[in-house]
Chain A
């Protein structure tokens, strides 16, 4: 089926070329980073993880979000989603690819990355994260590819896929839980030291992933002959609605616990993010933008009339995606490092080359996504014809 990704219109090739250009720029910046060291980034002794790890975390969520089309179809026998499970799985593949790349570009000694396999360390959550992410990647490749192939050949999917599909569902929850455990098990980082971190990550994942999928479905309907379906999009919209509300609810739980208990170690980080601390307030406008975006999204999604209007729904989905991206991508990681364990307030902002490398990684992800979606939609068109 791979050949389907190589045949496309002029527009398709232009898009691919644009992505390749972005990847090229990102790669050039990465070579610079490889030579100079991570000093080209905005990271510091105090904020030792930045944009790379933040985007990694966000994209683990997008990957896990794919399960929101798989689960209703296979567990609840919700037939409508049968049309689009492949889109969820392929989205997961590209998201996990980006996650793995973000880990690599974040390493100080990428050449030694395989030390994680040579000296496996079960006490390290990073070790487990490596296992669950790679596992999820392979599960989705195997399941997605074979199911699509079967559909193309007009035969039912192979029986041995069933257990893998069922396994992929808890596995999706697993990847984001383990990713949350990277942070929430660390003593002395009050912002992350909360049992609700994994549930909160999952809630934002199930909002961000499906909202992105809705946008992709709308796009596919416009540029291909395959229509993912109105019912499908509406069902996804309801999932997004519940998830984004849960995400905000969990955030408010955090705010209550921190400020009612009034324990400085927990309030300081939230104060820094939403009001600034010791005169440092770079993230304040971002965080409030995120809050406004999520609030607007909830309003638009909760009211049936606006949710059912696909144009408004698209706007709401953009709000959800950007809102959760800022919340997780900008606030969650930096917020945990500021103030530092020694209560110094040193802020973080990504640098220009750091952002270009990040865009390069997104470029790779979108390239994978484009190729896979091209294959999927072409097969769907073939089958329909």
Chain B
């Protein structure tokens, strides 16, 4: 009696393990099936108008952005478009693109003998859409991933909120939704989803605008101070600007390959 009960429990235990493995196997199976389905009848394709590039990059001409007021419309354009909440409590702040003093934007490059305007002007900082993004390496669910065109994107549906990517990012470009952000958005833009509490977010290089053939919102609002384009294309405007001007990047020594360049 006793040993048969033990056997029963053993079998039950093993089957429980087996059953719990099933969804995983199913997930693999359906993933395959999905791919087949995609190539069979219904088809999905990119928008014909979409801007395409192999490696998107942004050049920031800081000569044209000397004051806090000059940055404001750029930051506002992004915040409005992407429903970035405005939270007073600094601990819970959500930031996609914002201003930092030189010593914060470029720690390690600060210098007593820098010209005053460089010391005190605000510098625009945002996600660098790194060539070798440490956040993508760190993410345990591929919720943050790198697209073929280099954009480092977040899949808010998938993020579990472990915040490993925030520890991994050397630029402090990522924010976590410590609260439900909706209550902190004064005017919602229904064309872009908000985020839910418990996920990480950051700049997406306006992937949703590139898809319909538009430049990123910050670039559009910058009056020519920001130049965006495909850095892989020698004929592109960004390349021309980079050829003509000396630029610096943030923490280049870390090998992340940031794709945001600063003309200082």
Contacts and interface: CB of A to CB of B under 8 A. Distances in A.
Contacts of A42: 91
Interface residues of A, number: 49
A282 to B, nearest CB: 14
Interface stretch (A117-125, A160-168, A170-178): A117-125
Contacts of A260: none
Contacts of A125: 138, 164
Contacts of A342: 100, 104-105, 107, 125, 171-172
B27 interface: yes
Given A39-B179, A119-B158, A341 B137 contact: no
A46 to B, nearest CB: 7
Given A45-B92, A187-B255, A109 B137 contact: no
Nearest to B134: A187
Contact of B140 (A48, A124, A340): A124
Given A37-B198, A113-B160, 19 more contacts: A37-B177, A39-B91, A43-B91, A44-B90, A45-B175, A106-B163, A109-B199, A121-B139, A123-B136, A125-B164, A126-B138, A183-B167, A187-B134, A264-B108, A340-B172, A341-B169, A341-B251, A342-B100, A343-B107
Interface string B148-186: 000000000011111110111111100111111000000
Nearest to A188: B170
Contacts of A182: 164
B139 A124 contact: yes
The 5 A-B pairs with the shortest beta carbon distances in the complex, nearest first, are A108-B161, A188-B170, A108-B198, A44-B91, A39-B178
B179 to A, nearest CB: 5
B103 A107 contact: no
A43 B177 CA distance: 11
Interface in A90-121: 103, 106-110, 112-119, 121
Interface string A261-293: 000110000000000000000000000000000
A358 B249 CA distance: 41
B238 interface: no
A124 B164 contact: yes
B141 interface: yes
Most buried by B among A117, A118, A182, A188: A188
Interface in B210-243: none
Contacts of A117: 24
Contacts of B178: 37-39, 41, 43-44
